[in-house]
Structure 1
């Protein structure tokens, strides 16, 4: 059975969606959710779905103890699902083409440091874009610059608030993120 590790920082709706997808599909299993925020709702979501949670801080991430914990699991794929910190190059080097991220916009637009969640949707709205979407990409040493795996656009001409845009983007994330993860796992068979 293919093993997936998820990294998250916040609410965790994508994490919960991915966990349930793989619990029902039998195509892989979420072995653990690594969380850098002790108050994140994702912790409850993971535990409610019987998935182990690994809580860590910045020092543990950069000095190697998180990598040691990852190595004990030996994942087939590491998925950043709402993880807001720069991912360490040591982990990326040890797991080449096995670390992916989802971004709530059509990269290369609206990417980079500080461009996450509502900040992305506010920028999209302020620039009067007619569409936005999601980008799933490999992670490298720079924010949102890894090779694209998948993009899906949605029309937002009827949206008047960042929250309305977020709702449409979230629907795309929930529909396509687990499927793309599954396709990547199957291609690495």
Structure 2
């Protein structure tokens, strides 16, 4: 059984997609052991509690230095003996020590077709605003392994989504979540849990 930890900063819609997929049996041989957020008000923590999953808040603001926060985050991750760490809208830079320790065991979902609209500053609505500004006809989402760069690790899965006439960033964001993110993130976890990656 793959022991999964999910790191989130906001509403937790990707977390919900993971939990629903586990309940439906489309993610096999995996269990979410903990949900960790940097934001005490993140609705994702409520989603975890409703599912009987430990929900923890660890914020950089609560520590005297970034180094102390990084050490505390790695210690918290270690305490759950996780096999896979899923970044599902987690807006905190992952410490280098954690990437080194959990090499090829951290994955991220990004709301574009990497290498487009990724890297520093590209998160949330900003990605969709940039896609619409550029006039792309196809966007989508990418699941990738996390390395020391920003959105630069090896790609696991991608799914394309059409941009439609009259799209606003919010409408496009919702379509990318529904048609791509909520499908490929659970699929990637299932593939990892069952030795297909």
Bin the TM-score by the shorter chain: over 0.9
Deviations 1:24-49 (A, max 9, x none): 42521000001000111111111111
Change (3 A) 1:153 1:139: same
Q: SS at the partner of 1:177? A: helix
- Is the aligned partner of 1:180 residue 2:180? no
- Specify the alignment match of 1:39 in structure 2: 41
User: Is contact 2:6-2:87 (8 Å) kept?
Assistant: yes
CA distance in 1, matches of 2:170, 2:38: 25
Structure 2 residue ranges without an equivalent (≥5): none
CA distance in 2, matches of 1:108, 1:140: 15
User: Is contact 2:112-2:140 (8 Å) kept?
Assistant: yes
Paired residues for 1:131-142 under 5 Å: 131-142=138-149
TM-score by length of 1: 0.94
Q: How many residues align?
A: 189
Runs of 4+ residues over 2 Å off in structure 1: 23-26, 59-63, 157-160
TM-score by length of 2: 0.90
Root-mean-square deviation (CA, aligned residues, Å) is 1.7
CA distance in 1, matches of 2:194, 2:166: 36
CA distance in 2, matches of 1:68, 1:173: 29
| Residue 61 of structure 1: how far off its partner (Å) | 6.9
